[in-house]
Amino acid sequence: MSLKFRAFGAAATLLACFLVSFGATAADRAYKEGPVSIVSSIRTEPGHFDDYMAWLAGPWKQGLEAEKAAGLILGYNVYMTAPRGPGDPDVYLVVTYKNMAAMDDLDAKSDPIYEKLMGSQAQQSQANIDRGKIRTVLGSEMIREATLK
């Protein structure tokens, strides 16, 4: 009987040491995970830069301001850049969320906002097709801020 208790005690001690060392490792990191941003790379069609910027200043901004007021996003930014070649963006769109969990069920939370601002899903799809005539989405990526301690 005492051998079983010793074996159990040794196993419990090893488990406790493992858990403590795991916690200490995470606490020793020089950073913590911060907000998450979606960065979209956009290339406007020749002669349509101002048209696209007007759309961003209108419906795009209205939608994101409504998302911000609803607590869905922390903020958003637009960055202009000089493209180095024909396949490079001239605009970056950045939308920032509190964390990865903030994107859970995002469509269900944001659909009512955009239906109110831009109409039905069919109307939104048509507007997206029309916008495709003045810009090309080159891609998007998700980045996470590393907040240094």
Structural domains counted in the chain: 1
Tell me the pLDDT band of 27, cut-offs 50, 70 and 90. confident
pLDDT, tens digit (0-9, with 9 covering 90-100), for 57-67: 999 999 999 99
- Assigned domain for 55 exists: yes
- Assigned domain for 17 exists: no
Domain that residue 66 falls in: 31-148
Percentage, residues of the chain above pLDDT 90: 77
Tell me the DSSP string of 6-46: HHHHHHHHHHHHHHHHHHHHHHT-SEEEEEEEEEEEEEEPT
What CATH number corresponds to the domain at position 90?
Answer: 3.30.70.100
Predicted structure pTM score? 0.79
- Assigned domain for 83 exists: yes
Section 45-72 average pLDDT: 96
- Assigned domain for 131 exists: yes
- Assigned domain for 21 exists: no
